[in-house]
Structure 1
């Protein structure tokens, strides 16, 4: 794995001084949902949720991007409490917001009260979700595993819709329920097929997710029909990745040949570790580890003739990067693995003697006992005996007393930026791993953000791959992804949002942080009050303009969605209103 997110120094503005606040006094239009008898679907789950579950639901936008109908009309979608799908159309000329009832989704059936499913069966419904494929096709999920393909058409100024077909998401077949509750993450129409990515819970007690890439044919006149006229379609599972979180970035390339997942932790292919009890390989743990107070000791066994120069070990505040290569053979491969909790990089070091590579890590919180070494549990239990631990520590004392710790620089190994890193546990961003998969789930490319923490992705924009914004010092660097003719992913530093990382870190209530795909502005939308807009130009000016909009006007309502309808038209959804913001600088 490598870091391919390389900044272009010509796009950095070292002379930037700050933002000038400008009042927002025009281009704002509000429409009450109550007048339209629309009560947007909200999470009614009353069970306790883990952190990763809650994180995914907070990121979820109840306002879904719709394709522009023409150069003056933009559209979006929402689902109400009765699972009715609505299309919201805003006209820049008339300044009107209209609501069109498209169709009623398949309503979830309640779990019978007399059933007692196992506590690992993922029966809790997910949030309903929608992905617009084009101006004529929409994909929708009701949250309990039913996925519908909906056709759209405009007739006499009204938007009409009908359900063309429905399929059930079957998961891995191990969940103990059919269909499996899921959420649509992204989807793309590729010729006569639809490629989509959904997430669902695994059948385990711990919080873990299946990220499934699926394929479905678009119906044709020759496709078999049911008695009600709907088409009979099959949902094909291309591959399923398992991990401890829902990806913060998910995209399908225009060819449909590649899927990009971005997350704090890595994923493993479903079924990779367990193909069946009779075929399961029994292997020794790749390492042994133990903890004592604030100290963690990790031991890897290597061939004694392994040169120290082949050991590449770096400690970050919440990640470990360890690669050991002998000739063409990779002996140890932990290229960028998130740890279970935070550590002190400047107090960590490693030694190598008599075939034992030993890592000494210092926890940030000495009172917290780690249940596992990495954020994604790899099944390696704490098993280093106290006798072995004492022997290792005595060797370390002799080594450090005589010649210092055996690192490639004869100094404690650490990331060069670790002394400048904020070591607070609640720091705003996290490094992100981007993994590129082919249609069979094979990893064809992988790169990480390195010391650049995640800030946000761009608003959805037609069929373009979303760009990403990462923190470098106080700035936000925007990188674009493009697919080449041979399906490689090219990465380019497109622009720098001056001091955006700094202002973003100060907004503790920011729920929807997104940037304009055309690079004209960034936005931070709070969960209960304001929207902050920061404008951007490419001329490296010293002062940029910012503005803010009071969304809720002091009312006790939540902001639950945001989308960019047209290049200069932003729509925000609250529990009671649709707010259209025309971004006139």
Structure 2
């Protein structure tokens, strides 16, 4: 069962759009030059990267935030570990805390270095990967350079990227990292046809106390591998849930036991039916389509639901009870073995929204459809103007197989009446005419015509596929086993729109998932027995507005706000698009646009949030040559 199930009561069908809420940019944005610059040019020019690897590198966050202090780190172009300390004056202090040995660059096409990456285990314990196969365990000091606790090498001496870490005792930590699979690496280097790039996810144990006691911090050690998993794509996001002692991995594929065959599910157009004797597969079978259990339509103040019943049904056999939030319906004494539809039977079935029981009623027309009559329910809405997505609150929330077995949760599309069609046609005609003449079709005063960056490049297919298709997998910290409460990864698929901003409190993990045109916020309700994703809030029309943002590199959310951050360029800089959530029933939400990147600082490479004190919270934007602070 998919854990991401939207609560219909938290969706907002009345929402109309976002209105611009101007912010004083000069009052909330500060810029500081970097003495130690960051660079994306760490990979040899001859390295051949797959699309999945390029995509992963674009989304790599070069900035690491300490979860317990007002400190962050990054690795500069000379492999120096640079600490950023921000006091209540909001003036950052940059300090080189450790110098990583510079890796020897190779021009071999078989070498695929990663960007340097790091993770904080605590306020002062930090692990840093150089992106070439070595990891350095450091203890930071407030004034002097960091103390080297140990040097570790990855299995097969392959480059790797750190994703997450957890200090589960004062002396022991677990780190999770990924690397390009060495078997696929060998296949491609040998020129084998049909070879593809795969990835390994590793969990390793680090004994911090042993590193400090040995006094031989410069001795290179092999990592103590706890478990290994295999996938078709590198992870997008990894976090640790202490309540279940498990890692949650979100990626573009499921992650399976190493050595297991890659599961393959044929696409519908790849499945060829086998013809039987005297069977014509080209002839369409019109009899296979099963009639829907009911039809329905609505106006601004009412909903009409029609159930087909045998015309022999007597009115005394029909039992209907209408409550403000539910419907009870049963038909007594009617045989339905030969009927093409199942007779309706509902017991206190929750409706999509509340109704007026005093003015709602039902009618029975025995001659409406000859052999069948129509039982019509006329329901007056309590919330006039609210558009119902379905008749029942649970419609469309079950699997297709379960829906076949029971009519209660079948998703039945609305039958549009002529007045509804007329309103849609009028709206489309006005919108089309505005685009043809170049007028402002949005009504927000944004000017005429199509923006120059999008002119000639609008792609309806791209707009429909906003976000990334992602799978959620759970693995136990000690052995990598799937917890008994966690469904298999294939069942945890979603269209991911936004991740929590780095530095956000990990005790309230949340994701923003595409639901139609909206972005639904799912918060992880921690539990040792069974963590659960709960629909906590909604960013109405978020998927729709994000579809037009073509140069966005990062999309993060925090405390009722989504930040879509452009990559930036020397010619025009880059913007931060800010979207606020609103409560159900509100028609408009606020949005803001800030030019965070002016162009002189280079490309956006990292993002994070820091709590300077109880009253000050800031966002950090790390560019190639500049650090930008945004006061929230």
TM-score (norm 2): 0.63
Q: RMSD of the alignment, in Å?
A: 3.6
Say yes or no: does 1:210 pair with 2:211: no
Q: State yes or no: 1:441 paired with 2:480.
A: yes
Using the TM superposition, give the Cα deviation of residue 14 of structure 1 relative to its aligned residue in structure 2, in angstroms: 3.0
> 87, 111, 117: which is aligned to 1:123?
111
From the superposition, tell whether residues 201 and 44 of structure 1 become closer, same or farther in structure 2 (CA, over 3 Å): closer
* 2:89 corresponds to: 94
- Indicate the residue corresponding to 1:246 in structure 2: 234
Match of 1:498 in 2: 540
Higher share of residues assigned helix: 2
- Partner SS state of residue 597, structure 2: coil
How many angstroms does 1:468 deviate by? 0.7
Contact 2:472 2:493 in 1 (8 A): no
Matched, 1:108 2:116: no
* 2:466 and 2:543 in contact (8 A); partners too: no
Partner of residue 308, structure 1: none
Structure 1 residue 452, shift from structure 2 partner: 5.0
Partner of 1:50: 50
Q: Counterpart of 1:329? A: none
Note if 1:571 corresponds to 2:620.
Answer: yes
Paired residues in the alignment total 447
Query: SS at the partner of 2:52?
Result: helix
CA distance in 1: counterparts of 2:3 and 2:563, whole angstroms: 26
Note if contact 2:3-2:532 (Cα within 8 Å) is conserved in structure 1.
no
> What whole-Å deviation, never above 9, does each CA across 1:72-91 have from its counterpart, x for those lacking one?
xx222111111100011222
Larger Rg: 2
C-alpha separation in 2, matches of 1:105 and 1:237:
23
Change in CA separation of 1:393 and 1:455 when aligned onto 2, cut-off 3 Å: farther
**Corresponding position of 2:175:** 196
Contact kept? 1:432, 1:449, Cα under 8 Å: no
- Distance across 2 between alignment mates of 1:210 and 1:393: 49
CA positional deviation for 1:94? 1.5
Which residue is 1:297 aligned to?
A: 271
Structure 2: which 5+ residue stretches go unaligned?
189-195, 294-339, 341-399, 404-409, 415-458, 569-573
CA–CA separation in structure 2 for the residues paired with 1:83 and 1:168: 17
CA distance in 1, matches of 2:22, 2:267: 57
Q: For 1:234-270, what per-residue CA distance to the aligned partner results, in whole angstroms no more than 9, with x for missing partners?
A: 6221221111111223222225731212223222211
Change (3 A) 1:271 1:20: same
CA change 1:397–1:37 in 2 (3 A) is: closer
| 2:225 match | 237
Q: CA deviation at 1:145?
A: 1.3
Q: How does 1:405-484 map to 2 (within 5 A)?
A: 424=461, 427-438=465-476, 439-444=478-483, 445-446=486-487, 453-460=495-502, 461-464=504-507, 466-484=509-527
Paired position in structure 1 for 2:10: 11
- Cα distance change on mapping 1:523 and 1:232 into 2, 3 Å: same
Give the aligned partner of residue 79 of structure 1.
Answer: 75
Q: Is the 8 A contact 1:559 1:572 kept in 2?
A: yes
Please say if residues 4 and 448 of structure 1, whose CA atoms lie closer than 8 Å, have aligned partners that are also in contact: no
On the 8 A contact 1:475/1:501 being kept in 2, the answer is yes
Q: CA deviation at 1:569?
A: 0.7
Query: Which residue in 2 is equivalent to 1:520?
Result: 560
2:159 is the counterpart of 1:181 = yes
- Provide the secondary structure at the position in 1 that maps to 2:281: helix
CA-to-aligned-CA distance 1:489-546 (integer Å, 9 cap, x gap): 2221121122222221111111010101xx2311000001111122335576433322
- Partner residue of 1:161 out of 146, 149, 154: 146
SS of 1:481's equivalent?
A: strand
CA distance, structure 2, for counterparts of residue 75 and residue 154 of structure 1: 11
Of 202-211 and 135-144, deviating more is: 202-211
Contact 2:43-2:114 within 8 A present in 1 as well: no
Give the distance between the partners of 1:297 and 1:539, measured in 2 at CA: 44
- Are 1:219 and 2:209 an aligned pair? yes
Q: In the aligned structure 2, how far is the partner of 1:408 from the partner of 1:450?
A: 29
Q: CA deviation at 1:41?
A: 5.2
| TM-score, scaled relative to structure 1 | 0.68
- Residue number in structure 2 paired with 1:534: 579
Q: Aligned with 1:522: secondary structure?
A: strand
